Every structure is written in structure tokens, then in C-alpha cells.
Amino acid sequence: MEKVNLAEKLARFHEHWSPRIVGELNGQEVRLVKVQGTFLWHHHEDADERFLVLRGRLEVQMQDRTVELKEGEFFIVPRGVEHRTAAKEEAHILIFAPAETVNTGNVRNERTVEGPERL
């Protein structure tokens, strides 16, 4: 076990929408991702997904509402709920999700990251 410095880990990559694994616990992966712009509509059939904003602002858009998150705030999208995320300016996000969870959920396209890189 070693401590994890999130700022150091975030400095190691620049790509948007490409999560990196920085830890694991109880079958969950702790992932860092930088986002800017709008992601795609998708859902995760068997997993909840938690978004914690480390820097910037994030919108979690669902069919019936939008949740706006500021630094230090988090939101859990329940399994099966269609959603997409959006950030007008670059935001840094910490995600907890089961290890087998794919970032694009039920959709496969050029933004799908199978087996994210470990930092």
C-alpha cells in the first residue's frame, strides 16, 4: 500500500474522456478522468457510478433533470439510468465504479476505453 497523490496522477495525462485507474477496493476501481465538452448518452445496466468533482464543474444530465456539481461535490447515478456528463471547461473527476464497468456503458464507440491504464 502506498499513498496516492491525485495532483501528481492528474499531471501524468492530458487526454479528455480517457479514465485512468489510481486504486482499487472491494471490487471497485478508483478512476481519474479529465473531461471537457459533452459525453455520450449511455447507462450501466449492473452498476451505480459515482462522480466526485476535484476541479471545475460538471453537469450530470439525465432524461428528467440535470445535476450541476462544483468542486468537492459528488453525485451517484443509479444503475440503469441513462445519463451523460458535460463540462464547459476542463474538469477533473474521481469516479468509483466496479472494475468491469466500461466508461461508455451500453454503448461501444471511439470513446470506449476497455481496460483503462493504471497510473
pLDDT of residue 14: 96
CA 81 from chain center: how many Å?
A: 15
pLDDT of residue 73: 98
Going residue by residue through the chain, which has 119 residues, state the pLDDT in tens, using 9 for 90 and above: 789 999 999 999 999 999 999 999 998 999 999 999 999 899 998 889 899 999 999 999 999 999 999 999 999 999 999 999 999 999 999 998 888 887 766 667 776 677 777 88
pLDDT of residue 107: 67
Q: What is the DSSP letter of 9?
A: H
CA separation for the pair 60, 9 (Å, rounded): 24
Q: How far is CA 44 from CA 13, 49, 79, in A?
A: 26, 8, 5
pLDDT of residue 2: 84
